[in-house]
Structure 1
Amino acid sequence: MAETKQILDYTEDSIRSLDWREHIRLRPGMYIGKLGDGSAPDDGIYVLIKEVVDNCIDEHMMGHGKQIEITIEDKTVTVRDYGRGIPLGKVVDVVSKINTGAKYDSKAFQKSVGLNGVGTKAVNALSEYFKVESYRGGRTKVAEFNKGVLIKEHREKATEELNGTFVTFIPDDSVFKNYRFIHEYLDNLLWNYCYLNAGLTITFNGKRYVSKNGLLDLLKRKTNEDEIRYPIIHLKGEDIEVAITHNNDYGEDIFSFVNGQYTTQGGTHQQAFREAFVKTIREFFKKDYEAADVRQGIASAIAVRVQEPVFESQTKTKLGSLTTYEGGPTMRNFVIDFFSKELDNYLHRNAPIADAIKKKIEQSERERKELAGIKKLANERAKKANLHNKKLRDCRVHYNDEPPVKNKAEFNSLINKTTIFITEGDSASGSITKSRNVDTQAVFSLRGKPLNCFGLTKKVVYENEEFNLLQHALNIEEGLEDLRYKNIVIATDADVDGMHIRLLLMTFFLQFFPDLVKQQHVYILETPLFRVRNKQQTIYCYDEQEKQAAIKKLGNKPEITRFKGLGEISPEEFGKFIGDDMRVQPVIVEQGEHIQQLLEYFMGKNTMERQEFIINNLKVELDLVEEIASV
């Protein structure tokens, strides 16, 4: 009966046509991925900036404009390039009509980043204020918008400005709630643009970005000279560039790019690189090495340029399998042919580097064989534990799930929300478990403080039952390709013990799985320290300053609760702190940071440097009271 009613309710009135602006605002995830508050590098506010800058990069690639100027003041973003400028008669159309743009003409933009004419329209529709100014041949045209709606089109007039485009926008805070820009994420984005476009200069809030040596500079910045096993190999060909070295880290650190776009999820070009490197090494040494041994500890970057690349989503984070090089050979064959010639020639000409690669592979081989017996026993234990694993309360959707044939955009939006909370103790785990979203949020419960694994070998990951079960829960034993959760959130009490557990967990990830941190998968959950309420209103406060502001706002001696631990927050309340408005702090390792030195300082034996830091930064209660009073 109900089914019959649904059919009857499905009439002509049920069909609704949306204009371009309405569709983007109704389904923003289809155009910019997940929304977020700026705490993750792939949050929508960074995609908005990237979409505007991509247009400037395309101009530079076509030989127009060697400088881009970007500023962010509070929440206002401005981007100025010195390309050809938008044709003045099309200024409004280019930023407000879907499928309008020059990139459909392959002669004008042969190997462009953006191809579908959506980018700046999405920025326009998702901004509370958007202004575009075009300077062209001594004339200028300006148009202003509010959430994609044209509010003022200025008359064309004369100007002394150099040719180019000037875009100003403020992201809509009704779409991007409580957002903030983390400049370290933008720092990485802008450096990548410069590494891939030699001669381009970008300034961001006065800081200058420029690269002379492309991917060689990129890898120098991502690695440390005293930790790599041999000088960086830098190879360039027509429409392909690679940089390769090995260090002592576990796993693989591969940065891949297509037409200047950082493909964070890889794709056919990255897979081709991994295969081509192993194949060339095997053939050079005439030995059938295990692929994992060849790639263990690799740090590399690959950039390709192709006509009309096929990406798996509008955010262009993964190159699709349909992409070919110049419409001819597959991406796999193109990359393998390049490596079999150029890398093979390089190794023949540089015997010491070839010898260093061989030694690194053989070291990885020995370590793998030493671990083999332990891994077998540990994996058998983990398999039994998984049948009744009380530590893991899993979710239904996982980051490594195969996308369905239909609704790929919605599915990608869902898997980007997949999160595992690592908690300590039953009470905290219970609150999160009862209030979580069972589709996308999992909980892993620790038993007390984990082991300090600084300076230990990977053998400890298998010998320590808790670490081994965590490794299996994340599914990272063989690398990050099958990572089950996009976000790993450390959720501990905001006291001394909780801070110590955070440090121990971060040490575990940085020691054995540094790529998880480098690729921004690891976060710290922020939960309120105080609840301030009266009969009309409840305010949750994350620090002393917020508490004082809440007391002032509510007045008349409100009730104040200090949460000593996560377990004291009821499941009903906890649901508010792990939903759409969840506050997290990303764990960020500065580019070029010496991870081992960092761990030695914080987690090694009681060093003099650490003692001096504690003594010099020790604050007594009086200091804290004075700080709060001065705010």
Structure 2
Amino acid sequence: MARKKTSNAEYDGHEIKILEGLEAVRKRPGMYIGSTSASGLHHLVYEVVDNSVDEALAGFCTKINVTIHPDNSITVVDNGRGIPVDKHPQRKIPTLEVVLTVLHAGGKFDNSAYKVSGGLHGVGISVVNALSKRLVVQVKRDGSIYEMEFSRGATVEKMKVVGKAKGTGTTVTFWPDDEIFETTSFDFETLRNRMQEMAFLNRNLKIVLTDERELAPRVEEFCYSGGIVDFVKFLNDGKELVGDIKTPIYMSGRSEEGAPVERTGEVEVALQWNAGYGETVMSFANNIYTPEGGMHLEGFRTAITRVINDYARKQGILKDKDKNLEGSDVREGLSAVVSVKLADPQFEGQTKAKLGSSFMRPLVMKTVSDGLAEYLEEHPKQARAIVNKASSAAKARQAARKAREATRRKGLLESASLPGKLADCSVRDPAMTELFIVEGDSAGGSAKMARDRSTQAILPLRGKILNVERVGPHRALSSDTIQSLVTAIGTGVGDEFNIEKARYHKIIIMTDADVDGAHIRILLLTFFYRYMRPMIDAGYIYIAQPPLFQLKPKGRRKGTYIYTDEELAEQVKDLPPKSYSVQRYKGLGEMDPEQLWETTMEPKNRILLQCHVEDAAAAERAVSDLMGTQVERRKEFIQSHAKDARFLDI
């Protein structure tokens, strides 16, 4: 008999649900893999590969094969020790089954099986199992091949011996559950970038990625004897180098003998300056990218600033009357990788975005201080070029600050004097408001008429925004267009940037669906990436997706809005040619306010793409290749991505 629904006053234990085992993962997958979008889908692969990489860190695995099959299943093969298959002392079932079906079960909780590991919570492979409609695992150990099969986290086939084996290792094949994920189609480039990154971070580990979905399978192999030195070379590929430092500066260190296990670690740092204005410093802890940095990054930044200032003073490059170089000066044009390995890393949250292990700060500081000071002493020509680069950055910073202060005195940057073209909204809570950045007065006029005046602000831009990748901060921040943008958003830039002062939590780039519109989008994204990166990381930057077409049946006033060429082809394939008309929207100004509102601005109907940096190295290369000064790099990028073009105006 159904139990009567309780009122608030009768709220009791019957209302508290307990999700057993992997049921919790299927109920709330975002807690474990971030999302059920393409990002979460690819996270499944990373979880399996990370287990194999942990075997490499332990010294037992030298090769990992990752294969995308035609049905979008994934196989990961390693030559590590193989997951244990003996009976688990507590569960009394094969340890292999425990690892695949029990959350928080793994060999990473003490230091006997793994001295260093990226997986700490024991949830990785079991989460993959829970979110796969089918998973088959084979283990080679003790001369035999053991196999088990699962479905959505449940055991389908008990462990059995299926053959004899030479060597050891683990093979995992899984089929992502289409009941969970928005898409089950893997992107080769996304996996390629991650596999290459893992190979850079683990010297001499070979990772082979194969895509069997095409007639001629695509195979890419990554193995780097130089490790993170090769990583920095990759980041600076095609860029003009400072001081003719052809090989990145490398330094390493480790904890002193006798230190407690929980306070032991190793440090590797590679760095090199280029003639650009951006900073690319990537930090990792146990192969896990830490986008928010942490103690290891703090130690690196403190050391590099101190050492270069000390050297500049000692050599008389900085005089007594001169102020010290700031961290941003020293890091202008810097590409660096900071990689630490530690036995018991303390991360902030399951996302592991920030390393909190405090003992790594002094360890990294000492390693970088000793290594960089020695390099500068032994290479005076290169050292002077590095200091001169930082000194030029300091002068530009001071000039930019004076320009901003002069602008303030004119009242242009005061909050009471927002840009004249900004049509602001009436609500003041930034969590409820959004700013549409549009190109030109025509689109701006339509957007102003279409908007919800309480929560939607409009800022029209005149002409193309400056390409900030090719100019220094002084010139970039002197641009009237950029000043208007910074003023409207409210956060400031550079050392004055404060995301808490953001006046809107949605910044929506709304440009025409043509080549010029695409150019303006990439220019704006480059600005946000270089000068307001925390806005991207916070999820505040979006791209509007206006329709490309309106398909209208003959004799009717309203039609259907269509957003892609493929969708249009599908819609018209069964229609007689004379029964409809197609309007192509090349510009937002071609839409009347009502159309613009219902297709692109109305929150219930519109499509927005949220910008985020999924792979920092790939993002850096893309910005540099597309917007930098190297024409050949841009040509290669365009040729390799030409097939992905959404539209061409010829």
Task: Give the TM-score taking structure 1 as reference length.
Answer: 0.78
For 1:370, give the aligned amino acid.
A
Equivalent residue in structure 2 for 1:187, among 179, 184, 192 = 192
Report the more deviating stretch, 254-263 or 26-35: 26-35
Is 2:506 aligned against 1:501? no
Tell me how far apart the structure 1 counterparts of residues 571 and 448 of structure 2 sit (CA, whole Å).
Answer: 29
Equivalent residue in structure 2 for 1:139, among 144, 147, 153 = 144
Answer whether contact 1:533 1:559 (CA < 8 A) is retained: yes
Tell me what 1:234 maps to. Answer: 250
Is 2:55 aligned against 1:59? yes
Map Cα deviations across residues 224-268 of structure 1 (whole Å, 9 max, x no partner).
365121312111223111111222332421010101112122122
Tell me how far apart the structure 2 counterparts of residues 427 and 148 of structure 1 sit (CA, whole Å).
Answer: 55
Is 2:494 aligned against 1:478? yes
Report the more deviating stretch, 78-87 or 118-127: 118-127
Return 5+ residue gaps in structure 2 as ranges.
1-5, 86-93, 211-218, 255-265, 319-323
Tell me what 1:411 maps to. Answer: none
Deviation for aligned residue 1:296: 2.2
Tell me how far apart the structure 2 counterparts of residues 486 and 106 of structure 1 sit (CA, whole Å).
Answer: 43
SS at structure 2 position matched to 1:16: coil
Answer whether contact 2:145 2:165 (CA < 8 A) is retained: no
For 1:32, give the aligned amino acid.
I
Answer whether contact 1:523 1:586 (CA < 8 A) is retained: no
Tell me how far apart the structure 2 counterparts of residues 396 and 73 of structure 1 sit (CA, whole Å).
Answer: 48
SS at structure 1 position matched to 2:325: coil
Map Cα deviations across residues 69-127 of structure 1 (whole Å, 9 max, x no partner).
01223532221111111122222210110121111231111111101101112222222
Q: CA RMSD in A?
A: 4.3
SS at structure 2 position matched to 1:257: strand
Equivalent residue in structure 1 for 2:414, among 384, 388, 394 = 384
Deviation for aligned residue 1:542: 2.8
Is 2:13 aligned against 1:8? no
Deviation for aligned residue 1:445: 2.6
For 1:447, give the aligned amino acid.
L
Equivalent residue in structure 2 for 1:214, among 211, 221, 227 = 227
Tell me how far apart the structure 2 counterparts of residues 545 and 474 of structure 1 sit (CA, whole Å).
Answer: 40
**Counterpart mapping for 1:35-46 below 5 A:** 35-36=36-37, 38=38, 43-46=39-42
Tell me how far apart the structure 1 counterparts of residues 55 and 584 of structure 2 sit (CA, whole Å).
Answer: 55
Tell me how far apart the structure 1 counterparts of residues 170 and 428 of structure 2 sit (CA, whole Å).
Answer: 46
Deviation for aligned residue 1:541: 3.4
Cα distance change, pair 12–597 in 1 and its aligned pair in 2 (3 A)? closer
Tell me how far apart the structure 2 counterparts of residues 299 and 94 of structure 1 sit (CA, whole Å).
Answer: 39
Percent identity at matched positions? Answer: 29
Equivalent residue in structure 1 for 2:271, among 244, 247, 265 = 244
Answer whether contact 1:526 1:584 (CA < 8 A) is retained: no
Tell me how far apart the structure 2 counterparts of residues 196 and 419 of structure 1 sit (CA, whole Å).
Answer: 40
Map Cα deviations across residues 30-54 of structure 1 (whole Å, 9 max, x no partner).
2122443x3xxxx212322111111
Tell me what 1:528 maps to. Answer: 547
**Counterpart mapping for 1:334-483 below 5 A:** 334-379=363-408, 381=411, 383-385=413-415, 388=418, 390=422, 422-424=437-439, 425-426=443-444, 429=447, 434=452, 445-453=459-467, 456-471=471-486, 473=489, 475=491, 477-478=493-494
SS at structure 2 position matched to 1:93: helix
Map Cα deviations across residues 438-464 of structure 1 (whole Å, 9 max, x no partner).
7xxx86633332344475543343333
SS at structure 1 position matched to 2:297: helix
Deviation for aligned residue 1:62: 1.0
Tell me how far apart the structure 1 counterparts of residues 537 and 237 of structure 2 sit (CA, whole Å).
Answer: 14
SS at structure 2 position matched to 1:103: coil
Tell me what 2:215 maps to. Answer: none
Look at both structures and tell me which one has the larger radius of gyration over its CA atoms: 2
For 1:19, give the aligned amino acid.
E
For 2:16, give the aligned amino acid.
I
Tell me how far apart the structure 2 counterparts of residues 297 and 168 of structure 1 sit (CA, whole Å).
Answer: 43
Tell me what 1:78 maps to. Answer: 75
Map Cα deviations across residues 514-560 of structure 1 (whole Å, 9 max, x no partner).
9999999977544432355899xx97533333212123368895786
Higher RCO (C-alpha 8 Å, min separation 6)? 1
Answer whether contact 1:577 1:583 (CA < 8 A) is retained: no
Tell me what 2:129 maps to. Answer: 124
Tell me what 1:319 maps to. Answer: 355
Answer whether contact 2:536 2:611 (CA < 8 A) is retained: no
Equivalent residue in structure 2 for 1:50, among 46, 51, 55 = 46
Report the more deviating stretch, 490-499 or 296-305: 490-499
Map Cα deviations across residues 268-325 of structure 1 (whole Å, 9 max, x no partner).
21122111211222233335322322222221111111111111222322212xx14x
Deviation for aligned residue 1:499: 3.5
Equivalent residue in structure 1 for 2:157, among 152, 156, 160 = 152
Cα distance change, pair 72–522 in 1 and its aligned pair in 2 (3 A)? farther
For 2:79, give the aligned amino acid.
Y
Deviation for aligned residue 1:346: 2.0
Is 2:570 aligned against 1:543? no
SS at structure 1 position matched to 2:198: helix
Answer whether contact 2:537 2:612 (CA < 8 A) is retained: no
Cα distance change, pair 113–514 in 1 and its aligned pair in 2 (3 A)? closer
SS at structure 2 position matched to 1:155: strand
Cα distance change, pair 515–235 in 1 and its aligned pair in 2 (3 A)? farther
Tell me how far apart the structure 1 counterparts of residues 163 and 327 of structure 2 sit (CA, whole Å).
Answer: 62
Answer whether contact 2:252 2:268 (CA < 8 A) is retained: yes
Tell me what 1:172 maps to. Answer: 177
Tell me what 2:206 maps to. Answer: 201
Answer whether contact 1:270 1:302 (CA < 8 A) is retained: yes
Equivalent residue in structure 2 for 1:305, among 302, 319, 341 = 341
Tell me how far apart the structure 1 counterparts of residues 147 and 60 of structure 2 sit (CA, whole Å).
Answer: 21
Answer whether contact 1:132 1:167 (CA < 8 A) is retained: yes
For 2:444, give the aligned amino acid.
D
Tell me what 1:403 maps to. Answer: none
Cα distance change, pair 168–523 in 1 and its aligned pair in 2 (3 A)? farther
SS at structure 1 position matched to 2:47: helix
**Counterpart mapping for 1:79-98 below 5 A:** 79-88=76-85, 89-98=94-103
Answer whether contact 2:547 2:562 (CA < 8 A) is retained: yes
- Equivalences, count: 573
Return 5+ residue gaps in structure 1 as ranges.
325-329, 399-413, 625-631
SS at structure 2 position matched to 1:254: strand
Answer whether contact 1:257 1:303 (CA < 8 A) is retained: yes
Tell me how far apart the structure 2 counterparts of residues 470 and 420 of structure 1 sit (CA, whole Å).
Answer: 10
Cα distance change, pair 428–212 in 1 and its aligned pair in 2 (3 A)? farther
Deviation for aligned residue 1:197: 1.0
Cα distance change, pair 362–174 in 1 and its aligned pair in 2 (3 A)? same
